[in-house]
Amino acid sequence: MKFISIMLAGVLTSNFIFMQYLGLCAFVGISEQFETALGMSGAVLFVMTFACTVAAAFEQFILVPFGLQYLRTIAYILVIAAFVQLVEIFLKKTAPSLYKALGIYLPLITTNCAVLGAAMLNVKNDYGILWGTVNGLAGALGWSLAILIFAGIRERWKFMKIPEVLKGFPLALVSTGLMSLAFLGFSGLFKTILK
Amino acid sequence: MTDRLLITSSPHIRAPKTVRGIMLDVVIALVPACVAAVIFFGVKALMVLVASTVSAVVSEYLYEKAVKRPVTVGDFSAVVTGVLLGLTLPPGVPLYVPIVGSAFAIVIAKQIFGGLGTNFVNPALAGRAFVLAAWPLHVTSAWLNPLTMDAATGATPLHAFKGGQAVGSLTDLLIGNRLGSLGETSAVAILLGGIYLLVRGVIDYRIPVAYLGTLGLGVFVFGKPGALFQGDPLRGILLGGALLGAFFMATDYVTSPVTPKGRTYFGIGAGLITLLIRYWGDYPEGVTYAILLMNLATPLIDRFVVPKYYGYMHDVEARRRAREGGR
């Protein structure tokens, strides 16, 4: 039950992009093409899930026993940066074209507020290592869902006459707002059953 | 217009259909629903409809003037958006709600992207979702009793139906003698408009049939609290905004898939999400959000549901034939 409720929250009811407004920079920056968005989703999926595991373990075995909770942000960023490095090395070797397409946004996952946010929320909700990992996975799936939908929409803009002044970020942010308006419909889903 | 030379891909067949003609058909199809709303809810309903329509047309005109684009008020698409938004609202709503809603629908959901054809969500539904988020109480409680037109207290029939209570005779539901938004009361009026659109070839039957079929099946299975397979599919479809949504909003050309198969999936998806929100979500009715969410998924449906062209072979088969052909 807890698994379903965490999954549901991460993917639909408290989606990182549409409900918590976290991780928007990469969301807007990488969503112009479906394939690149897919690649980015894979990277975020990997980093978010495992960073959550390791960060939760860090919390449990190092930060709390030694009373170092005030170092949490730095410690977590370090963990995330390590995973991002791994992804970077891997992509550079195996998929150079994707590596190029992702550009600056790949190392920027380090400071992606969604990834750090997921790890921080795990502490706040007292999830521990196992549920923290599940929460990271759910959050990453929700983020991927959002960016894939958005990439589909943005690909169409290439064939349309979009007003020049609004091209790029302004229109992307307006559309994100409209999309989160639609995702409002999922609020409170299965609340009565899962409580 | 600056575009003297218009370059498009084939086919270049010309059809007598124009945007204006299609939109006029939709307006005609909406007339019975509007008339029914005015008969049951009187002047207040008329005021809501007029406010939302005028606001839609005026916002379109002002925006296009402001950004110096050709004014497209004459194609009636703004009228359709305005009337549809008005029909989704309860009759007792304060008039600033339809006015703001229509302005949002036209400017933010449609014109910002470049006008008709570029929007990715149905403007009327985006407008409704916006006013629902902004003034939830006005939009979900300003009901009037039909014919007597005094303020109604208590739950709407849909709410009672979900709780498993009796909700009046089918005749009342069909004619529209019950509480509800302007456009969800009279099922006969909506159906009349829907059939007109189908006969005129303006809409494809696949989306409404798949949508209402999925919804009816779902209500039959889950509709009765505490028991499976005992729901009442007919009342499940007639109550709430599903009919209006299925015929007039889900079939919007711009925001629904182009392929026949894709349209079926679109309808099924909308039906499932409507059920999900209606029975397990926070909101009393899920039609608005279901269609909006399927609007978002439309580009992906179009991307992955591609019809097989004549002579199509599966990769493996094609390679085998190529090998053998090369002997």
**What span, in angstroms and rounded, lies between the C-alpha atoms of A76 and A99?**
24
Q: Which long-range contacts (CB under 8 A, 24 or more apart) does A124-128 make?
A: A127/A56, A128/A56, A128/A60
A 3-62: CB under 8 A from B: 34
Write the pLDDT tens digit of every residue in B288-300: 999 999 999 999 9
Does the pLDDT of residue B223 top 90, yes or no? no
- Are A186 and B286 within 8 A, CB to CB? no
Q: What is the ipTM of this complex?
A: 0.91
Reading the block at residue B325, the tokens are: 């052909």
Per the prediction, chain B carries an average pLDDT of 87
What is the residue extent of each domain of chain B? 19-304
Select the residue from B67, B68, B112, B305 to test the A interface by mutation, using most A Cβ atoms within 10 A: B112
Write the pLDDT tens digit of every residue in B146-198: 777 777 766 677 877 777 776 777 777 787 777 888 888 788 999 999 999 99
Reading the block at residue B9, the tokens are: 């891909």
**What span, in angstroms and rounded, lies between the C-alpha atoms of B5 and B258?**
26
When mean pLDDT is compared across A14-23, A131-140, B123-132, B263-272, the lowest value belongs to A14-23
Reading the block at residue B103, the tokens are: 């302005």
Closest approach of A27 to chain B, Cα-based (Å) = 16
Out of A171, A175, A185, closest to residue B277 by CB: A185
CB B247 within 8 A of CB B205: no
Select the residue from B7, B72, B113 to test the A interface by mutation, using most A Cβ atoms within 10 A: B113
The DSSP code sequence of B110-170 is TGGGTSTTT-SS-HHHHHHHHHHHH-HHHHHH--B-TTT-PBP-S--HHHHHHTT-----H
Closest approach of B295 to chain A, Cα-based (Å) = 9
CATH of segment(s) B19-304: 1.10.3430
What is the residue extent of each domain of chain A? 17-190
**What span, in angstroms and rounded, lies between the C-alpha atoms of B259 and B200?**
19
User: What is the sign, positive or negative, of the torsion defined by CA atoms of B278, B281, B286, B291?
Assistant: negative
Residue A146 has, within 13 A of its CA and on its CB side, a CA count of 38
Closest approach of B43 to chain A, Cα-based (Å) = 31
Reading the block at residue B223, the tokens are: 């509709």
Q: What is the pLDDT of residue B314?
A: 73
Write the pLDDT tens digit of every residue in B42-95: 899 999 999 999 999 999 999 999 988 888 888 899 999 999 999 999 988 999
Closest approach of A125 to chain B, Cα-based (Å) = 23
**What span, in angstroms and rounded, lies between the C-alpha atoms of A75 and A116?**
11
Does the pLDDT of residue B265 top 60, yes or no? yes
- Are A160 and B281 within 8 A, CB to CB? no
